[in-house]
Amino acid sequence: MLELLVKLIEDFEDKHYQLNVSTPRSRLKHLMEVRNLEQADLVEILGSSEMFTKINNGELEITKEQAEALGKFFHIDASLFLLE
């Protein structure tokens, strides 16, 4: 009975509370927030202020080259900035 209850709770939480859902854009925003970075700090990496704005607004996805540059800048795996 306990196993059934645990399974039902897990199913409910998976359906209604997706805790670990993140996107490359949300990861970038989080890293910027944690490190107190502004748009100007990443313009050189992303190419331009306009490019940053479009990525930040979800109009463009981060390219592989940009992901590699961001990974190097933040010292993390570049794949975190790419869609899975």
User: Which whole number is the average pLDDT over 54-62?
Assistant: 93
Given a cut of 90, is residue 52 above it in pLDDT?
A: yes
Q: pLDDT tens across 5-47, in order?
A: 899 998 888 777 766 678 899 999 999 999 999 999 999 999 9
Candidates 41, 28, 44; CA nearest to 76 is 28
Given a cut of 70, is residue 61 above it in pLDDT?
A: yes
Residue 11 lies in a domain: no
**Which residue range is the domain that position 48 belongs to?**
20-81
pLDDT computed for residue 19 by the predictor: 63
User: Which whole number is the average pLDDT over 47-54?
Assistant: 93
Residue 10 lies in a domain: no
| Contact present, 66 and 59 (Cβ < 8 Å) | no
Residue 9 lies in a domain: no
Q: What is the CATH number of the domain that holds 45?
A: 1.10.260.40
pLDDT computed for residue 17 by the predictor: 72
Residue 3 lies in a domain: no
Residue 1 lies in a domain: no
Domain count, the chain: 1
Residue 8 lies in a domain: no
pLDDT computed for residue 81 by the predictor: 94
Q: What is the CA radius of gyration of the chain?
A: 17
Residue 4 lies in a domain: no
